[in-house]
A = this chain, B = another copy of it.
Amino acid sequence: MIRNIIIKNRSYRKFDPSVQISKEQIIKWIELARFSASARNMQPLKYAISTGRALNSKIFPNLGWAGYLTDWPGPAENERPVAYVAVLLDRLLASSCYCDDGIAMQSILLGAVEDGFGGCIIGTINKKEVAELFNLPGNLEILWLIALGKPSEKVVLETAGEGDIKYWRDEGLTHHVPKRPLDEIIYKGI
Protein backbone atom coordinates (compact mmCIF):
# COMPACT_ATOMS: atom_id res chain seq x y z
CA MET A 1 0.00 0.00 0.00
CA ILE A 2 1.33 3.38 -1.03
CA ARG A 3 0.46 4.83 2.38
CA ASN A 4 2.89 2.48 4.13
CA ILE A 5 5.72 3.29 1.75
CA ILE A 6 5.10 7.05 2.07
CA ILE A 7 5.13 6.81 5.87
CA LYS A 8 8.30 4.74 5.77
CA ASN A 9 9.90 7.30 3.43
CA ARG A 10 11.37 9.61 6.04
CA SER A 11 14.36 11.93 5.63
CA TYR A 12 17.11 9.60 6.82
CA ARG A 13 20.47 11.14 7.63
CA LYS A 14 22.33 8.19 9.16
CA PHE A 15 23.15 5.06 7.21
CA ASP A 16 24.78 1.67 7.51
CA PRO A 17 28.02 2.12 5.54
CA SER A 18 28.44 -1.64 5.09
CA VAL A 19 25.45 -1.84 2.74
CA GLN A 20 26.35 -0.54 -0.70
CA ILE A 21 23.98 0.47 -3.50
CA SER A 22 24.90 -0.26 -7.10
CA LYS A 23 24.56 2.24 -9.93
CA GLU A 24 22.18 -0.16 -11.68
CA GLN A 25 19.91 -0.11 -8.63
CA ILE A 26 19.86 3.69 -8.56
CA ILE A 27 19.15 3.86 -12.28
CA LYS A 28 16.03 1.74 -11.66
CA TRP A 29 14.83 4.39 -9.19
CA ILE A 30 15.66 7.17 -11.66
CA GLU A 31 13.57 5.30 -14.20
CA LEU A 32 10.61 5.87 -11.84
CA ALA A 33 11.29 9.61 -12.15
CA ARG A 34 11.46 9.21 -15.91
CA PHE A 35 7.95 7.70 -15.88
CA SER A 36 6.61 10.57 -13.73
CA ALA A 37 4.80 13.73 -14.78
CA SER A 38 6.74 16.68 -16.18
CA ALA A 39 5.41 20.18 -16.87
CA ARG A 40 4.72 20.49 -20.61
CA ASN A 41 6.37 17.06 -20.70
CA MET A 42 9.64 18.97 -21.18
CA GLN A 43 11.69 16.63 -18.93
CA PRO A 44 14.54 19.07 -18.32
CA LEU A 45 15.93 17.11 -15.36
CA LYS A 46 19.07 15.01 -15.56
CA TYR A 47 20.81 12.94 -12.93
CA ALA A 48 24.43 12.37 -11.94
CA ILE A 49 25.20 9.42 -9.70
CA SER A 50 28.00 8.88 -7.21
CA THR A 51 28.48 5.45 -5.64
CA GLY A 52 32.28 5.46 -5.33
CA ARG A 53 33.88 5.89 -1.92
CA ALA A 54 36.39 8.48 -3.17
CA LEU A 55 33.84 10.73 -4.86
CA ASN A 56 31.36 10.35 -1.97
CA SER A 57 33.95 11.52 0.51
CA LYS A 58 34.73 14.58 -1.61
CA ILE A 59 31.03 15.44 -1.93
CA PHE A 60 30.25 15.11 1.77
CA PRO A 61 31.99 18.27 3.13
CA ASN A 62 30.02 20.37 0.63
CA LEU A 63 26.64 19.54 2.16
CA GLY A 64 24.61 21.06 5.00
CA TRP A 65 22.71 18.70 7.30
CA ALA A 66 19.55 19.14 9.39
CA GLY A 67 19.51 22.90 10.02
CA TYR A 68 17.42 22.64 13.21
CA LEU A 69 19.92 20.30 14.90
CA THR A 70 22.45 23.03 15.55
CA ASP A 71 24.71 20.85 17.70
CA TRP A 72 24.89 18.06 15.13
CA PRO A 73 27.39 18.58 12.30
CA GLY A 74 25.96 15.73 10.20
CA PRO A 75 26.53 11.98 10.02
CA ALA A 76 29.78 10.64 11.45
CA GLU A 77 32.26 8.81 9.27
CA ASN A 78 30.58 5.45 9.94
CA GLU A 79 27.06 6.76 9.27
CA ARG A 80 27.49 8.51 5.94
CA PRO A 81 25.51 7.97 2.73
CA VAL A 82 26.84 5.32 0.39
CA ALA A 83 25.54 7.09 -2.72
CA TYR A 84 24.36 10.44 -4.01
CA VAL A 85 22.12 11.45 -6.88
CA ALA A 86 22.56 15.03 -8.07
CA VAL A 87 19.32 16.33 -9.57
CA LEU A 88 20.24 18.66 -12.42
CA LEU A 89 18.32 21.18 -14.49
CA ASP A 90 19.43 21.18 -18.11
CA ARG A 91 19.25 24.86 -18.96
CA LEU A 92 19.54 24.09 -22.66
CA LEU A 93 16.05 22.56 -22.34
CA ALA A 94 14.26 24.90 -19.88
CA SER A 95 14.92 27.76 -17.49
CA SER A 96 12.66 26.23 -14.82
CA CYS A 97 11.54 22.72 -14.00
CA TYR A 98 8.37 23.98 -12.27
CA CYS A 99 7.45 21.22 -9.79
CA ASP A 100 9.17 18.40 -11.70
CA ASP A 101 11.99 18.20 -9.14
CA GLY A 102 9.71 17.32 -6.23
CA ILE A 103 7.73 14.83 -8.32
CA ALA A 104 10.91 13.14 -9.56
CA MET A 105 12.58 12.96 -6.15
CA GLN A 106 9.46 11.56 -4.50
CA SER A 107 9.38 8.81 -7.13
CA ILE A 108 13.09 8.05 -6.65
CA LEU A 109 12.82 7.92 -2.86
CA LEU A 110 9.66 5.80 -2.84
CA GLY A 111 11.45 3.33 -5.08
CA ALA A 112 14.45 3.32 -2.75
CA VAL A 113 12.27 2.81 0.33
CA GLU A 114 10.37 -0.05 -1.27
CA ASP A 115 13.73 -1.72 -1.92
CA GLY A 116 14.78 -1.34 1.73
CA PHE A 117 16.86 1.80 1.37
CA GLY A 118 16.18 5.45 2.10
CA GLY A 119 17.55 8.91 1.77
CA CYS A 120 17.39 12.61 2.32
CA ILE A 121 16.92 15.51 -0.06
CA ILE A 122 19.67 18.06 0.55
CA GLY A 123 19.34 21.68 -0.55
CA THR A 124 22.29 23.19 1.30
CA ILE A 125 25.05 22.46 -1.18
CA ASN A 126 28.26 24.13 -2.19
CA LYS A 127 27.09 23.89 -5.78
CA LYS A 128 30.22 25.20 -7.45
CA GLU A 129 32.42 22.60 -5.75
CA VAL A 130 30.01 19.72 -6.32
CA ALA A 131 29.55 20.67 -9.98
CA GLU A 132 33.33 20.43 -10.39
CA LEU A 133 33.45 17.08 -8.63
CA PHE A 134 30.80 15.71 -11.03
CA ASN A 135 32.57 17.46 -13.91
CA LEU A 136 29.30 19.07 -15.01
CA PRO A 137 29.10 21.27 -18.10
CA GLY A 138 27.75 24.81 -17.59
CA ASN A 139 24.23 23.97 -18.78
CA LEU A 140 23.62 21.44 -16.01
CA GLU A 141 22.67 23.25 -12.80
CA ILE A 142 22.54 21.36 -9.52
CA LEU A 143 19.12 21.74 -7.90
CA TRP A 144 19.31 19.11 -5.16
CA LEU A 145 21.34 16.20 -3.93
CA ILE A 146 19.70 13.02 -2.72
CA ALA A 147 21.81 11.19 -0.14
CA LEU A 148 21.12 7.44 -0.18
CA GLY A 149 21.85 4.39 1.91
CA LYS A 150 20.45 1.76 4.24
CA PRO A 151 18.94 3.88 7.05
CA SER A 152 20.42 3.28 10.51
CA GLU A 153 18.35 5.77 12.49
CA LYS A 154 14.79 5.73 13.77
CA VAL A 155 12.57 8.56 12.51
CA VAL A 156 9.01 9.00 13.79
CA LEU A 157 6.16 11.26 12.76
CA GLU A 158 4.19 13.16 15.36
CA THR A 159 1.54 15.87 15.31
CA ALA A 160 2.82 19.44 15.64
CA GLY A 161 1.34 21.44 18.48
CA GLU A 162 1.01 25.22 18.24
CA GLY A 163 2.79 25.37 14.90
CA ASP A 164 6.08 24.09 16.31
CA ILE A 165 7.42 22.20 13.31
CA LYS A 166 11.10 21.94 14.18
CA TYR A 167 12.27 18.34 14.11
CA TRP A 168 14.23 17.18 17.16
CA ARG A 169 16.13 14.22 18.60
CA ASP A 170 15.38 12.61 21.93
CA GLU A 171 17.98 11.16 24.27
CA GLY A 172 17.69 7.77 22.61
CA LEU A 173 18.54 9.61 19.36
CA THR A 174 15.18 8.88 17.78
CA HIS A 175 14.48 11.69 15.31
CA HIS A 176 10.99 13.23 15.73
CA VAL A 177 9.23 15.04 12.87
CA PRO A 178 6.19 17.13 13.84
CA LYS A 179 3.61 17.44 11.05
CA ARG A 180 0.90 20.10 11.09
CA PRO A 181 -2.50 18.54 11.85
CA LEU A 182 -4.64 17.60 8.86
CA ASP A 183 -7.25 20.09 10.07
CA GLU A 184 -4.75 22.90 9.73
CA ILE A 185 -3.76 22.18 6.14
CA ILE A 186 -7.24 21.73 4.66
CA TYR A 187 -8.73 25.14 3.91
CA LYS A 188 -12.38 25.17 4.84
CA GLY A 189 -13.33 28.74 3.98
CA ILE A 190 -15.87 27.74 1.38
Min Cβ gap A41→B in Å is 5
A99-B121, A106-B107 known; A134 and B34 CB under 8 Å?
A: no
A190 within 8 Å of B (CB atoms): yes
Of the candidates B6, B99, B134, B137, the one whose C-beta lies within 8 Å of that of A105 is: B99
Query: Complex: how many Å from CA A102 to CA B10?
Result: 16
Q: State the majority secondary structure of interface residues on A.
A: mixed
Over the window 113-155 of chain A, the binary record of Cβ atoms lying under 8 Å from chain B Cβ atoms (1 yes, 0 no) is 0100000010100000000001111001001100000000000
**Residues in chain B near residue A121, CB distance under 8 A:** 37, 39, 99
**Residues in chain B near residue A114, CB distance under 8 A:** 1-2
Would you list which residues of chain A between 57 and 98 have a CB under 8 Å from chain B? 67-68, 86, 88, 98
Query: Complex: how many Å from CA A177 to CA B180?
Result: 36
Number of copies of this chain in the oligomer?
2
A36 within 8 Å of B (CB atoms): yes
Q: Are B111 and A3 in contact (CB under 8 A)?
A: yes
Query: Complex: how many Å from CA A177 to CA B144?
Result: 26
Of the candidates B6, B35, B88, the one whose C-beta lies within 8 Å of that of A107 is: B6
**Residues in chain B near residue A185, CB distance under 8 A:** 30, 34, 43, 45-47
Query: Complex: how many Å from CA A72 to CA B81?
Result: 48
Would you list which residues of chain A between 8 and 39 have a CB under 8 Å from chain B? 9-11, 27, 30-32, 34-37, 39
**Residues in chain B near residue A98, CB distance under 8 A:** 102, 123
A6-B32, A99-B105, A182-B27 known; A187 and B110 CB under 8 Å?
A: no
**Residues in chain B near residue A41, CB distance under 8 A:** 68, 165-167, 177-178
**Residues in chain B near residue A68, CB distance under 8 A:** 40-41
Of the candidates B2, B11, B104, the one whose C-beta lies within 8 Å of that of A102 is: B104
**Residues in chain B near residue A110, CB distance under 8 A:** 2, 6, 110
